[in-house]
Amino acid sequence: MDATDLCFTAATDLAGMIRRKEVSPVEVTEAVLARIERLNPAINAYCTITADEALAAAREAEAAVMRGAARGPLHGVPISIKDLTITKGVRTTRGSRLYADAVPDEDAPVVERVKAAGAIIVGKTNTPEFGWKGDTSNPLFGATKNPWDPAREASAGGSSGGAGAAVAAGLAPLALGTDGAGSIRIPASFCGIVGLKQQLWRVPTYPPSPVETVAHTGPMARTVRDAALLLNVIAGPDERDRLSLPASGEDWLLACEGGVRGLRVAWSPDLGYAAVDPEIARIVATAARRFADNLGCTVEEAHPGFADPGRAGRIIFYGGVAANVAGLPPERAALIDPALARALEEETVGLTALDYIGANAVRQALWDTLHRFFARYDLLLTPTIAVPPFRAGEEGPREVASRAVERFGWTPFTYPFNLSGNPALTVPVGFTTTGLPVGLQIVGRRFDEATVLRAGAAFEAAQPWAELRPPEGEPTP
């Protein structure tokens, strides 16, 4: 197996090969780091590369394997960490010039857990400032580019765009992203990989996010089983996160087995209110039909019945983002991304406590509708994103299918499930005529990641994607 093949080998396979001594952690890590060195200048997935630390950890992992002391299910497997997540001794900027030189003195719980499981952290991935938008660009590091676009003009999505681009380009098989309104699923869809927003609070978040009531830290990977493997490692309570759920006892990797024959599946092409690009609608509708034609499900077109909760979502989300910069002195405020400052002014100036309470009332009504809907259906299928990847560095279109939309209007399928907390998985289902990826979102009942993962794995078996690789060409920074 050559170095490129190693870089595109599934994490579940790599972990087994390392345990069996068929490949060494040092060999894998060197291959990934060499590929990062070659491709990252053009893609800009990583903002910090921890090559020395990764190689030292890989040598320790190799020695442990040789003496029969592998540490856990990710032993020797490379992983990236989004730059919103704190890492002990490694710069964590949050994509902001305010924190350009910040070096935390502790790890987030998820980072502690992947280290304990034996993973090799190869670097931090790029994010917009405080994760504020669905494109990954900031004044500190610039824009992350979509690996599937040889011209390096298309967005990788956001806010976990660096993570999505890294996995898609073979710059580590696993990534940790975060998702407050779609920030795992947007880049996963744009980059042609798997992204899971598991049940809200299944995975602990620390330090607490200002958007903690919608915030998730979750897995991004090339296969559904790789995402499940990473969820096994990071799920479970932590006393630093007062909202984290008790351990479920579920083996998420085992949950991928068994198929979905006989499940009742709802297919909603627009949730009853969303504008959707016609090409996206066509590709995803074809994928949804596979659940009936190939997987043995009963599929009906049905909308949950809630109105667009976009305004409520923006109040809760941007209210939290604004808390990151509230009360700064003028010289510090001047360091904020000007586009973020404009968005906060548009979305939060003049809001009152009553507006926030009203937004939570909308959220409750959304939940009331959804739990009744999931009494009738086991799963809900939607497009992941309403548009193909747009130009890198832009916030997102304000017109979809000839309809004007508000901020977030191009990603109408993601934020409702941050508000409700339901588990939601995006899987690749095809490509636009310009060769850019398209995703299908699979949403499940509260606490039911198992069925969501099983459905994703069944679809992956029916329509595999993991062997597909982005065109490399000659990278041009």
Which amino acids are annotated catalytic?
82, 159, 183
> What residues contact 161, with CB distance under 8 A and at least 6 apart?
45, 125, 126, 127, 128, 135, 136, 144, 155, 186, 187, 190, 191
> What residues contact 388, with CB distance under 8 A and at least 6 apart?
277, 279, 280, 432, 434, 436, 438
* Residue that has been written with the tokens 């259906």 in this structure: 377
Describe the crossing of helices 11-19 and 25-43 by its angle, rounded to 10 degrees: 150
- Say which DSSP state 155 is in: B
- Say which DSSP state 145 is in: B
Distance CA 39, CA 131 (A): 24
Distance CA 206, CA 404 (A): 37
Sign of the torsion formed by the C-alpha atoms of 187, 193, 199 and 201: negative
Alpha helices in 324-473 (DSSP H): 330-333, 338-348, 353-373, 415-420, 449-462
Can you read off the two tokens belonging to residue 285? 């509708």
Q: Which of 420, 330, 333 is nearest to 374 (CA)?
A: 420
Q: Quick check: 181 and 414 in contact, CB under 8 A?
A: yes
Distance CA 325, CA 136 (A): 19
3-state secondary structure of 419: helix
> What residues contact 20, with CB distance under 8 A and at least 6 apart?
none
Q: Which of 96, 94, 155, 99 is nearest to 124 (CA)?
A: 94
Distance CA 106, CA 134 (A): 28
Residues linked to residue 7 through DSSP beta bridges, in sequence order: none
